[in-house]
Structure 1
Amino acid sequence: MPTFHLRCNKSLHSLFKYRTIHMNSSLYRSLNSPSTPAFYKLQHSNIEDYYYSALHRCKTIKQLLGIHAQVNKIGVNQRISVAIKLVNKYAEYRNVENARLVFDRMSGNNACQVFEKMSEHNILLWNAMLAGYASHGLSEETITLYYQMQIEGMSPDEFTFSIVLKVCASPLVLQEGKKIHSHIVKKMGLESGVVVATGLVDMYVKCGSIEDAQQVFDKMPERNVVSWTAMLRGYVQNGQGIEALKMFNQMQLGEEIPNSFTTVNVLAACGQLGYLHQGKWIHAYVIRSGFESDCFIGPALINMYANCNSIFDGCQMFDKISKRDVFSWTSIIGACAQNGYAHEALANFKDMQLQSINPNSVTLLSVIMACTNIGNLTYGRCVHGYVLRRGFQADESVGNSVLTMYAKCHTIEVASTLFQKMARRNVVSWNAMITGYTQIGYHNDALTIFHQMVELENMKPDQVTVVSALSSCSHLGALQKGKWIHEYIIRSGFAIDVFIGAALIDMYAKCGSIDIAHQVFQKMCKKNVVVWSALIAGYGMHGHGHSALALFAEMKQLGTKPNHATFISILSACSHAGLVEEGWYCFHSMQQDYCIAPMMKHYACMVDLLGRAGHLDEAQDFIKRMPLEPDSSIWGALLAACKIHSNIVLGQHVAGHLLNLNPEDPGYYVLLSNIYAAAGKWENVERVRSLMKDSGLKKTPGCSVIEVKNNIHSFLTGDRSHPQSKKIYATLQSLAGQMEDLGYVPDTNVVLHDVDEEMKEHLLLYHSEKLAIAFGLISTCAGASIQIRKNLRVCSDCHTATKFISRIVRREIIVRDANRFHHFKDGLCSCGDYW
């Protein structure tokens, strides 16, 4: 035990002056000299009571240390009540080291030689030390002391178990909690006690082990309102709102009167389920029971109404709260932010500040969410400044929320700077950066961050991380990186649930491996509508319209109800395969069989289906009968059909609609120009191009990319910037000669420039997809398939040439253009020349 070199200062003497037990000055002087006879004449109870009272009254750690020094001097430190109070006080001032020193001295053998060791008193000392550790979250120290207690022959009581069970209320120490549960059952026989049993229920609930909690609860011969509330809260926290409501009914039938905490959890269950009617019934119960004035009830009611999409009722509830604290303000701000009323959330935040109510971290999370949802970066920066001034940046959730705001508001540079400066990064921080890069199209950067997270920082990703990374692979067509992520998922023990499964199916489909996508689908135990829709969309992309329809029929037969996205996928599949009758059937079934009102995307799919099939008049008539005002997606699909079928008159008419709706999109000008060029109307071509130039618009250049050995290589038409361009051009020239021998004739009609035929053939030979294919041939081993991705629709000449090349080199060549996949093999294409 260390010596405390402290004197009682004036404040300490003042504290002694107001002691509970009267002691005269001579007695006080004698206390400073424990060797005097006066000390031994004092009754021990008076000394204990005096110092116990002094410890109870002390307000600072300095006073506590001073009293402890006096206790050491006169030997009262060996009195059990004083030692317990010292332990409690040191724990209160977050000084568990000194608390443990007091405990060790008192629980040692030397102390027993001076005073009789009474087990009923000593258990209080052990419990005090256990509680001190537990109050500061020191679970390991608490559990170790608990086992030491048993080794030394001390018998735990109900309070002991309630302390230890609380520190076991975490999934990380659940196994220790189960051992203690076993000890309670086998040795102590205390499971039937309501305090210990409630502690067990609470522990299992907080560990997410609701089945174990239910077993303990069912075995309880006696239950109180705390027991019922703990079990009910467990159901709510584990997403089992219906079970929580059933338990609330059972509780009332058992004549156990719920308290305000019970009601808060029942309201949370109603909100979780979206049960507005039941929520209103609970609201009426709150009024009848007199709970409405409880400070937690108001926010709980607001949250319930907000989660039931009844924000108006939530606002009315807020208006009825006479005394609004930070919790009620936080509830209404969060309710508005989560229900799409971001402007109202920000207005409430301003009002809160005008009322001089300081926000907490949860308030700021909702405010930042509101700024993110409406992209209000100006207000967001102000909130960020407030966070910095008030020191909230140390809160991980707030820091991650600010990071997410900048990333989603397309200020990725600021987000990256904040990310680099973060002292601690958790999985949410990494997710914010990865999803931020993904959303703005910086997919290579997203995958770089993912690789850094997993390989360099050894941080385990979660479901959101994996899905975002797979999405970036899908957009890049980066099959090898996607396979690496899939392998990582398996190695790391991730469960391939419906979200990861759908992302894997989408990735493999968009990277050209529809067979592997089907394998992933087949291995999934649980499939929801998102998973089915992902594979249907994949089949559609690859032109397998009949396979998509068969899968669609199987999905319905097995009882999975299609949604809006499913019908977009199946209509798109019909469009790419030219299945007009089947497309009409699906379109009518959507409305008649499933009561799904078509959205603009469904109408656009039908226009595309009819237009590609050459039914231009029918497509026009369909547009006229639409209940919605056609947007650019509708007219764009029809204009593309006019290009395919060289309908100049209709193309001009449609282009007029498009240029009025979206005059800043260069794609529509290019389509119209191409229609004129294909018809040889060069004056009209020049007029359209001049109009583009005057508007400051530029044509998007054709670009093709290929992934070789995990590296992405990009090519533009006529590109000579690649280090191996000489070999690439030599390979193409060699292939051109072999293709001509087999009967290939360049389709110069696709060259949209007024130049001679020889120049047209020269331009055709060096289109971006041909350059990418040539690079793939010289960079991969013989027989290996080649996969490229192009940002525009593949032209008819490249389509024909690639068929010839696949025959010559005897390889499969997979091309993913802006619309779909083409699988070239042995001189044929999977699309059947329909795209």
Structure 2
Amino acid sequence: MRSRAVKANITGTFLHRFFSFCIRPIKQTSNTFLHQFCPQRSSRCPTNNVHQQHVYPILPNISSLLIPKANNLFWLRSSYFSSALQPFEETSQRDRLVQDARFYSVLDFIKSSTVVPNIVTACIGHCIALKIGSLAHLPISTSLLTVYSRARDFGSSLALFDEIHNRDVIIWNAMITASVENGCSSAAISSFMEMTEEGTGFDSTTLLVVTLASSHMNNLRQGQALHGLGFKAGMLLESILCNALTDMYAKCGDLSSSERVFSWMECRDIISWNSIISGCLYNNRPEKSLMYFKEMAFFGERADSVSLSSAISASSCLGELIFGQIIHGWGIKLGYENSHISVANSLNSLYSHCGEIEAAETVFREMIYKDAVSWNAMIEGFGSNGKISEAFHHFHEMQIAWSVQPDKVTIITLIPLCAEKMLLREGRTIHGFTIRRQMGSDLSVKNCLMSMYLRCNRLTEAELLFSSMIERDLVSWNTMISGYSQNGYSGEAQDLFRELLRYNPKCSLSTLLAVLPSCDSYESLHFGKSIHCWQLKLGFSDDILAVNALMYMHIHCGDMKAAFSLLQRNFVAADIASWNTVIAGCTQKGHFQEALNTFSLMRQETHISHDSVTLVNVISACGNLELFSEGKSLHGLALKSLMGSDTRVQNALISMYGRCGDTDSARSVFDACPNRNLCSCNCMISAFSQNKDARRALELFCALEYEPDEITFVGILSACTQLGVLRYGKEIHGHVLRLGFQENPFISATLLDMYSNCGRLDISIQIFKNIQEKSVAAWNSMISAYGYHGNGKKAIETFQEMIKEGTVATKSTFISLLSACSHSGLLDEGIWYYDHMFEEYGVEPLTEHHICMVDMLGRSGKLHQAYEFIKQMQTQPKPGVWGALLSACYYHGDLEMGKEVAKLLFELEPENVGYYISLSNMYVSAGSWKDAVELRNTVQTQRLKKPAGYSLVDVGLW
């Protein structure tokens, strides 16, 4: 026992001295070789920091590493290290018997190191092999090369391989495998070519590994050549090589060739089935993936985790929840549900995609092991199903679970949720998180953050991010250009696009789609046409997305002829999105009749069928044109095509019936709506308000189940204005203040109207003064309020102040101003503003302005001047203009002119009973009772009915 201990002590001491003093640096890495075959990896994979000078480093205190393993290395004696190194020129062949047992001991030690490879054990084995002269033994050098490769020291593998001269197929295969393992597929191909040039030959393993390299490189032509080599050499009878070929063809996008190789195979194993199932899924053919999965089950092949994961993912792509649940049950039976992360992750995605988020969470909670993919899939599932708070809760829980931490994918999943829901505070929090976790410099993360800020209307933050980018890709430019366009900064978007062209003239289709929305007025039509030319130059003329964007641009720029010309030239390729683009564009720009004409033209195309977007826009067009019969026909079409239950279509129907004055039909649609939302309630409240049914509007508001928004308050305040009851208006004003909507320009303008109509001009003035940024709607309401209370001079002063502030006057401004002049008897001022409204303010006189002028002249007793004004109008006078003159004739008792005007009105609007009543009252005032009675009889004969007048008394109760 003592002698053993002495021997061990001597051995340990000698090892310490040997490794400390005797090891010399070995040949430096062949950087030229490495750079030639693997330039993309030469800077990061070949060497570690300790290998920058020498491939095999001197290891300090190595005896301390060996002493615990003294029993395994006890055979080492000091005499062994005195053997001379054998030069590689004198190495024996692999098949030659080696009598020295030490070689096999070293070989066993190196092979055992491949199980848990690390650079320390690789260097130990290398040094021992050098000292005993066994490095010339090909099995030892092959194993050592493999250990270096698996320890991620690819540079040492290259250097060792470079020193071996008598190479056989096995060591070539090891070198090719090492290249593939370390991500140097091009080096693997180069090694294979060098191998064949040296005449070494190859076997099925060689082809297998090189085929894998071709798959990684997506080099189909190279893979086909390898297929031919395997066929010529008669190696395709081996299922392993056929499996690799099946996978290679699928990864290179040639699914038909992959299927042919698979069908040609006589003996298929589970890897064969997995290759074709996952290959179909990789090529976006989930239906074929499920077909092969069913075929595999039919032949009795037992599925594994790869098969189940692929089949579940295919079910998710197709939305086949039931089939996915069947596979889930099969996975439980086989024991793959919780123990295999890939299967559980696929189940999470399946249930989330199919809306069964509770089932997804159950699978997630039962998982034994969770990786980052598991957490990310769960967060994405909650987000896609509208459960934003749960998504952030899981993000917080993920941070607490120290085993897995949020990665870049987690951040990229969460930021779009903040952008979609405009959660600025949460988005800024995630931004801070990325900076703390040192992910803020990642380009994809920065692009997502920039998009989030732009969606939340925070251009300053987005611009800071964009300007701070040291490196920008095309996505960065496109995001910023699109953000400017969507936020109304057309000039900035176009300037940034020009700047991009100076750096990268080959912009993508996404770039053109980003900049085209900035062309939204006639002034930008020239720029839009230049984008059209650029699109033709880049070869995007046949892309239907580009055509749709161009049509939308031309419509918004007022060039309807060019838009319809584009649609006509692309009739064959036009899809429903193309037709919707034209119809929606016409509706949004007020070309309602053109929208309806386009819809009629679309209905003639047999290969195109309308959708809910089409119906929403054409129903809206009918509402704006007050085409009641056409609107009802579209209602029937929606019910017939099973789109009548779509909430957006029902909301459009409510608005259409409201504009056409049929509140009962609007209420019927509202009551029948199964999934009504706040927008539905807003449409119904607006319908009541527009049709002077303020009481029902207030009743609906009181029964509202949702938190009201700005649109809700605009509608209900309009109803309070009609009632003239100040108490209700004050209560609504309190709601507005509590919710912080008082800065909304439309709400502030409606509050001004409400208080003014309720007789509280003083409160209107106070609200107007408190508005920090006055909109044109607020100015118009204040001018109208002064006019309503007979203070025309103050209305004119307010108008002049508005112009001085730089606010552009609109048609509504002049309606309020001319009406104020009319009510205050300011005839000269009113005539001056009417004469100069187009020349100085750019507002073209419309029917409403003509009515104001006739009313102004009529109130001043200048009936003949008003009559001549109407006769000299360049356009055909609308009935409302003649109606204003008829009211003036009644006011001043001019029966002769009244009879003449009434005769014209009876022809223009024979069903308007108001004109008959006005003329009848004029007859009574003039004492012509016979004519008055005859006119009344005419009204009864034609069954015309005058709406009954009523008075409203507020008693404080509903």
TM-score, normalising length: structure 1: 0.73
Counterpart code for 2:492: D
Of 138, 143, 160, 1:102 maps to: 160
Q: Indicate conservation of the 8 Å contact 2:837/2:845, yes or no.
A: no
Shift of 1:389: 3.3
Shift of 1:67: 5.3
C-alpha offsets along residues 24-70 of structure 1, whole Å, 9 cap, x if unaligned? 424323136669xxx99x95654543443454566654664565466
The verdict on how the C-alpha distance between 1:210 and 1:761 changes in structure 2, with shifts beyond 3 A counting, is same
Is the counterpart of residue 229 in structure 1 residue 299 in structure 2? no
Of 196, 200, 221, 1:150 maps to: 196
Shift of 1:302: 1.8
Q: Indicate conservation of the 8 Å contact 1:326/1:357, yes or no.
A: no
Of 567, 577, 588, 2:636 maps to: 588
Shift of 1:502: 2.9
CA distance in 2, matches of 1:459, 1:423: 21
Counterpart code for 2:27: P
The verdict on how the C-alpha distance between 1:752 and 1:249 changes in structure 2, with shifts beyond 3 A counting, is same
Shift of 1:758: 5.4
The verdict on how the C-alpha distance between 1:212 and 1:447 changes in structure 2, with shifts beyond 3 A counting, is farther
C-alpha offsets along residues 111-143 of structure 1, whole Å, 9 cap, x if unaligned? 34xxxx6xxxx2222222222222232233222
CA distance in 2, matches of 1:44, 1:524: 83
The verdict on how the C-alpha distance between 1:701 and 1:190 changes in structure 2, with shifts beyond 3 A counting, is farther
Partner residue in 1 for 2:263:
218
Is the counterpart of residue 357 in structure 1 residue 372 in structure 2? no
SS of 1:180's equivalent?
A: helix
Q: Name the stretch that deviates more: 304-313 or 473-482.
A: 473-482
Shift of 1:311: 0.7
CA distance in 1, matches of 2:131, 2:381: 60
SS of 1:168's equivalent?
A: helix
Partner residue in 1 for 2:838:
765
Counterpart code for 2:269: N
Which runs of 5 or more residues in structure 1 are unaligned? 643-648, 704-715, 722-746, 771-793, 801-826
CA distance in 1, matches of 2:222, 2:541: 26
Shift of 1:104: 2.8
Partner residue in 1 for 2:434:
387
Counterpart code for 1:558: T
C-alpha offsets along residues 637-694 of structure 1, whole Å, 9 cap, x if unaligned? 898899xxxxxx99952999998787654447768999999xxx99999986665445
CA distance in 2, matches of 1:686, 1:763: 31
Partner residue in 2 for 1:819:
none
The verdict on how the C-alpha distance between 1:479 and 1:218 changes in structure 2, with shifts beyond 3 A counting, is farther
Partner residue in 2 for 1:321:
367
Of 642, 662, 670, 1:627 maps to: 670
Q: Please, what is the CA RMSD of the aligned residues?
A: 4.7
Shift of 1:599: 4.0
CA distance in 1, matches of 2:775, 2:691: 20
SS of 2:774's equivalent?
A: coil
The verdict on how the C-alpha distance between 1:281 and 1:14 changes in structure 2, with shifts beyond 3 A counting, is closer
Q: Indicate conservation of the 8 Å contact 2:134/2:140, yes or no.
A: yes
TM-score, normalising length: structure 2: 0.64
C-alpha offsets along residues 286-341 of structure 1, whole Å, 9 cap, x if unaligned? 12222223232222222211111111211222333355554443332222122111
Q: Indicate conservation of the 8 Å contact 1:549/1:570, yes or no.
A: no
Is the counterpart of residue 249 in structure 1 residue 304 in structure 2? no
Counterpart code for 1:91: S
Q: Indicate conservation of the 8 Å contact 2:516/2:550, yes or no.
A: yes
Shift of 1:621: 4.9
Is the counterpart of residue 2 in structure 1 residue 27 in structure 2? yes
SS of 1:270's equivalent?
A: helix
Q: Indicate conservation of the 8 Å contact 1:666/1:699, yes or no.
A: yes
CA distance in 2, matches of 1:291, 1:74: 49
The verdict on how the C-alpha distance between 1:152 and 1:451 changes in structure 2, with shifts beyond 3 A counting, is farther
C-alpha offsets along residues 44-101 of structure 1, whole Å, 9 cap, x if unaligned? 6545434434545666546645654665676544332233234323333444333223
Q: Indicate conservation of the 8 Å contact 1:302/1:318, yes or no.
A: yes
Shift of 1:525: 4.6
Shift of 1:342: 1.2
Of 553, 558, 575, 2:606 maps to: 558
Q: Indicate conservation of the 8 Å contact 1:639/1:654, yes or no.
A: no
Partner residue in 2 for 1:280:
325
Of 294, 314, 319, 2:340 maps to: 294
Q: Indicate conservation of the 8 Å contact 1:751/1:764, yes or no.
A: no
Q: Indicate conservation of the 8 Å contact 2:654/2:684, yes or no.
A: no
CA distance in 2, matches of 1:588, 1:446: 43
Partner residue in 2 for 1:366:
413
Partner residue in 1 for 2:722:
653
SS of 1:478's equivalent?
A: helix
SS of 1:236's equivalent?
A: helix
Q: Indicate conservation of the 8 Å contact 2:658/2:666, yes or no.
A: no
Partner residue in 2 for 1:468:
514
Q: Indicate conservation of the 8 Å contact 1:6/1:66, yes or no.
A: no
Counterpart code for 1:582: E
Shift of 1:264: 0.9
Q: Name the stretch that deviates more: 486-495 or 195-204.
A: 486-495
Partner residue in 1 for 2:136:
78
CA distance in 1, matches of 2:512, 2:687: 34
Alignment of 1:29-428 (within 5 A): 29-31=81-83, 43=98, 46=101, 48-56=103-111, 60-61=118-119, 64-65=122-123, 68=126, 71=129, 76-106=134-164, 111-112=165-166, 122-169=168-215, 173-185=219-231, 187-292=232-337, 293-322=339-368, 324-361=370-407, 362-393=409-440, 396-428=443-475
Alignment of 1:711-790 (within 5 A): 751=818, 754=821, 756-757=829-830, 759-761=832-834, 763-766=836-839, 769=842
Q: Indicate conservation of the 8 Å contact 1:19/1:54, yes or no.
A: no
Shift of 1:539: 4.5
Shift of 1:760: 0.5
Shift of 1:607: 4.5
Q: Matched residues, percent identical?
A: 22
Q: Indicate conservation of the 8 Å contact 2:84/2:133, yes or no.
A: no
CA distance in 2, matches of 1:454, 1:222: 57
The verdict on how the C-alpha distance between 1:486 and 1:580 changes in structure 2, with shifts beyond 3 A counting, is same
CA distance in 1, matches of 2:471, 2:534: 24
The verdict on how the C-alpha distance between 1:426 and 1:238 changes in structure 2, with shifts beyond 3 A counting, is farther
SS of 1:177's equivalent?
A: helix
The verdict on how the C-alpha distance between 1:665 and 1:7 changes in structure 2, with shifts beyond 3 A counting, is closer
Higher relative contact order (CA 8 A, sep 6+): 1
